[in-house]
Amino acid sequence: MSATPRAIAALALLAAGSAFAEGFKWDVPETYNFVEVPSVQKVNGIPVRFNIYYSHWSVEQLANHFIDRFTEAGLYLPPMDQQVRFNGQVFQLTAFDPIHRVSYTVMLKPGGDRNTEVIAGEGYLSDYRPQSGSGEQFAPVPPQAQHVVHTSTEGMKFMTFDTPLKTEEVASFYRDVLGREGYTQVGAGMFHRNGQELTVRVATLPNAATQSVSVTLRDAPGR
């Protein structure tokens, strides 16, 4: 959950003479459910803390709300053409506080009856620690993979990406590649090697040109 390259390039200009609200507080209108995630995750080497809200507002209403909130707080908000929309549906909006080096990212996923899942996260760039060697890439990704994001927490590594490949093409890719790397397939999208379990899941969204793939690595149950 980091700022765009242009946002980082603008830090020197933004830091001079600007008043930023320390400790931006999330305000999610008409919340009807809330999931607190107490642990700090690592996303592409950046410590991230996030929570999940469920709101009766639509994606468009919430996007406009957070644009206003970020602006009122004096955060740097990159232009809309630099913001991200995954699979043509899940909207991501990021703002940045260059004084305290914190990025604020909200992901809005539409649900039924104008309800929206809101994933609100804070990335602490001052604590960024680049990974050596192969970094956090614990599993291969197929060609044309987009928006690759790595997350790590105690005992587990997690990776997501978008791909234009069909579900069976993704399954075939991982059967071939993981088989050559010494994994044994033990179920649909599930592989074991040296006491660890790697799971591949594909999520298809209606009318989307790409699919979302999640890959999880953890200790195999019973090991």
3-state secondary structure 167-204: HHHHHHHHHHHHHHCCCEEEECCEEEECCEEEEEEEEC
Closest CA to 87 of 110, 65, 105: 110
Pair (76, 162) in one structural domain: no
Predicted local confidence at residue 205, as pLDDT: 62
Region of poorest pLDDT, from 5-9, 176-180, 188-192 = 5-9
* Domain assignment of residue 2, yes or no: no
Query: How far apart (Å, rounded) are the C-alpha atoms in residues 172 and 179?
Result: 10
Same-domain status, 209 and 106? no
Task: Tell me: do 98 and 156 sit in the same domain.
Answer: no
pLDDT, residue 26, reads: 92
Q: Which of 114, 115, 215, 119 is nearest to 163 (CA)?
A: 215
Of 44-58, 60-74, 87-101, 106-120, which gets the smallest average pLDDT?
87-101
Domain count, the chain: 2
Would the pLDDT of 162 be above 60? yes
Percent of the chain with pLDDT over 90: 29
Mean pLDDT of the chain: 78
Q: Is residue 82 in a domain?
A: yes
pLDDT of residue 122: 87
- Does residue 157 sit within a domain? yes
Residue 220 scores a pLDDT above 90: no
Verify that 116 and 154 share a domain, yes or no: no
pLDDT over 90 (residue 212): no
Q: Are 87 and 190 in a shared domain?
A: no
Q: What percent of the chain has pLDDT over 70?
A: 75
Does position 88 have pLDDT exceeding 80, yes or no? Answer: no
Q: Are residues 108 and 163 both part of a single domain?
A: no
pLDDT(86) > 90: no
Flag whether 110 is in a domain. yes
Same-domain status, 25 and 112: yes
In the listed set 127, 157, 188, which residue is the last one of a domain according to the structure?
Answer: 127
Which band of pLDDT confidence, cut at 50, 70 and 90, is reported for residue 223? Answer: low
- What pLDDT is recorded for position 148? 80
Task: Please say if the pLDDT value at position 20 is more than 70.
Answer: no
Q: Which residue has the higher pLDDT, 13 or 143?
A: 143
What predicted TM-score, i.e. pTM, was given to this entire model? 0.54
pLDDT at 3 over 60: no
Q: How confident is the model at residue 53 (pLDDT cuts 50, 70, 90)?
A: very high
Q: What is the mean pLDDT of residues 120-139?
A: 66
Of 62, 93, 127, which residue constitutes the final position of a domain? Answer: 127
pLDDT bin (cut points 50, 70, 90) of residue 123 is: confident
| Whether residues 113 and 163 fall in one domain | no
> What average pLDDT does the segment 133-150 reach?
75
- Residue 77's φ and ψ, nearest 5 degrees, are -115, 110
Structural domain harbouring 51: 7-127
Last residue of a domain, one of 67, 96, 127: 127
State whether 154 and 213 are in the same domain: yes
